[in-house]
Amino acid sequence: MLDTLAHTLRRHPDRPAVLGTTRTGAVRTKATCRDLADLADRYTATLHARGVGRGSTVGVAVRPGPRALAVMLAVHRLGARAAVLDPGAGPDVLRARLALARPDVVLADATAQAVAGWARPVARRARLALPDLAELGPVATIGPRLPGCAPALDAGVRAAVLPRPVDGDGDAVIVFTSGTTSRPRAVVHTRSSLAAGMATVAELVRPAAGRPVLGGTFFVLVPSLASGAPVALPARSIPVLRRQLRHLAPQAAYLTPPQLRKLLADGARFGGRVWTGSAPASAELLTRVKRAGADEAWGVYALTELFPAAAVEQADKAAFTGEGDLVGAPLPGVTAKTDASGELLLSGPAARDRYLGKEPEPWVSTGDRARLDGTRIVLEGRRKDMVLRHAENIYPGLYEPALHVPGVELALLVGIPADDGDERLVAVVQPGPGTDRDALRSALDGPLERMGAARPDAVLLADIPLSGRSLKPDRAATARLAARRLAERSRG
């Protein structure tokens, strides 16, 4: 699909490709198709002149937008692979990860280099930190330079010939996930698995040419642009994003659950099809999105190792009355099964080839307990999140969906140590803005009663801590919060 995108950009050079917004929400063009194609050609030529080609690794520390996409197009054309850097991972972790990937060159914009240099004290307060990028390999600047930045990527290159595009399969991208500083863990996608994932997105979202799509991820940008639909990068400010939605009227929008919750609290209206993933999306959240004007509201189940794997629309999710979290049927090409322990295993053309430094594996171990309800996947919780109480294994994900009654933003079941070496099960429920707490406690009585032996020992109404790039609920931090609150109760 990256090859298709390159041709589409040249066929319609004057079309808007990447859109931004003003503070009033008005639409502005950040790059036309010609701009994007010219930028990709320029990066291709200069990287080729530096010796980057098949088998090379390019570290990428560039903010989402036209330049980042042009870099990915250039790396793809050359048959190299991109190693994606996350400033939120911390310098020690990044140093270990890049030691494993060993990039031939690190491409960074001025912001990333500032985070690693003169702006480090300011960036640390925003929980961003990078090591000195020069430690990771030769560095070149993408976009405007600031004092102290490495030389521009194309510095000293007056003219370069575009090489022929590389055909065939091979490594395309390295995405670091979990692991430690001593044993980093990274997912390796090949050109074919990346293409299969993007084709699945295109079939699922069905972007129509000429109508904007809202979303900032690579898997939104490429299929949409290849279909002739311009892509608007979501504003970071929620009030501006709300205004952007109104002015843009996108045919489809991909936003995270935290973004949707904040937009709903800010009175946002939706239209077209809304997609969400990267963190759990309850039936209640999807229902609120449709009530706010969306034609369809979809939850997407995806992993770094296989994106996307399954999807479910609000009507189906709301109609599901069984235990657990319905995430929908496997998407075309995806095969699902469970092993003897109940863990969900997935396979398909879009699945990662391997973990960096490991041999290829045919099945992706998701870490989720699940059951198959006919052709549909129902999650029952993360295996590692199991709570052991009274010698009974309790999987929180099996019961948490029932706690999402109207007025609940988020709900987690966590275990905290008890005095006798056992664990106490605590439900931590985050009320929505303006929710009557007494009424909410009454509304929870029914679901709590139906939990039977898994009924929690205590229920706390509190804001649930979030973490990571996608702001997922942080179970460890929530467990610490619950332990602290219960200890305060007992002392009072």
* Token pair recorded at residue 253: 């929008």
CA-to-CA separations, 300 to 43, 113, 254, in angstroms, rounded: 33, 34, 10
Q: How far apart are CA 7 and CA 33, in angstroms?
A: 10
Strands 27-32 and 423-431: unpaired
Q: How far apart are CA 196 and CA 202, in angstroms?
A: 10
Q: How far apart are CA 308 and CA 299, in angstroms?
A: 11
Task: Please say whether the beta carbons of 72 and 51 come within 8 A.
Answer: no
Please report where in the chains the tokens 């494993």 appear, as a residue. Answer: 100
* Token pair recorded at residue 343: 């863990």
Phi/psi at 200 (5° precision)? -65, -40
Quote the pTM value.
0.85
Distance of CA 117 to the CA centre of its chain: 27
Phi/psi at 338 (5° precision)? -120, 150
Count CB atoms within 10 A of the CB of residue 440. Answer: 18
Name every residue whose Cβ is closer than 8 Å to that of residue 3 and which is 6 or more positions away in sequence. 165
Please report where in the chains the tokens 């396979």 appear, as a residue. Answer: 347
Q: How far apart are CA 323 and CA 308, in angstroms?
A: 23
Burial class of residue 482, CB neighbours in 10 A (0-12, 13-18, 19+):
buried
Q: How far apart are CA 196 and CA 210, in angstroms?
A: 24
Task: Please say whether the beta carbons of 303 and 363 come within 8 A.
Answer: no
Phi/psi at 45 (5° precision)? -65, -45
Q: Which residues pair with 141 in a beta bridge?
A: 108, 152
The helix/strand/coil state of 375 is: coil
Per the document, the length of the chain is 492
Q: How far apart are CA 32 and CA 84, in angstroms?
A: 25
Strands 387-389 and 392-394: antiparallel
CA dihedral 116, 44, 1, 62 (to 10 degrees): 10
The helix/strand/coil state of 265 is: helix
Task: Please say whether the beta carbons of 459 and 369 come within 8 A.
Answer: no
Burial class of residue 204, CB neighbours in 10 A (0-12, 13-18, 19+):
middle
Could you tell me where the DSSP H helices lie in 256-336? 257-265, 283-291, 314-319
Distance of CA 250 to the CA centre of its chain: 20
> What pLDDT, on a 0 to 100 scale, did the predictor assign at position 284?
93
Distance of CA 450 to the CA centre of its chain: 33
Please report where in the chains the tokens 């079309």 appear, as a residue. Answer: 15
For the chain, how many helices (H) and strands (E)? 14, 27
Task: Please say whether the beta carbons of 112 and 126 come within 8 A.
Answer: no
Query: How would you label 334-354 residue by residue, b for 16+ Cβ within 10 Å and e otherwise?
Result: bebebeeeebbbbbbebbbbb
Task: Please say whether the beta carbons of 1 and 199 come within 8 A.
Answer: yes
Task: Please say whether the beta carbons of 256 and 276 come within 8 A.
Answer: yes
Closest C-alpha among 235, 211, 244, 238 to residue 225: 211
* Token pair recorded at residue 131: 């090591």
Taking the alpha carbons at both ends of the chain, their separation in whole angstroms is 62
> What pLDDT, on a 0 to 100 scale, did the predictor assign at position 119?
63
Phi/psi at 5 (5° precision)? -60, -45
Each residue's pLDDT, cut to its tens digit, for the chain (492 residues) gives 888 898 999 999 999 999 999 999 999 999 999 999 999 999 999 999 999 999 999 999 888 899 999 999 999 999 999 999 876 666 777 778 778 889 999 998 888 777 766 666 655 655 566 677 777 778 999 998 887 788 899 876 666 678 999 999 999 999 988 655 567 789 999 999 999 999 999 999 999 999 999 999 999 999 999 999 999 999 999 999 999 999 999 999 999 998 999 999 999 999 999 999 987 889 999 999 999 999 999 999 999 999 999 999 999 999 999 999 999 999 999 999 999 999 999 999 999 999 998 999 999 999 999 999 999 999 998 888 888 887 688 889 889 999 999 999 999 999 998 866 678 999 999 999 999 999 999 999 999 988 888 899 999 999 999 987 778 899 999 999 999 999 998 886
> What pLDDT, on a 0 to 100 scale, did the predictor assign at position 127?
56
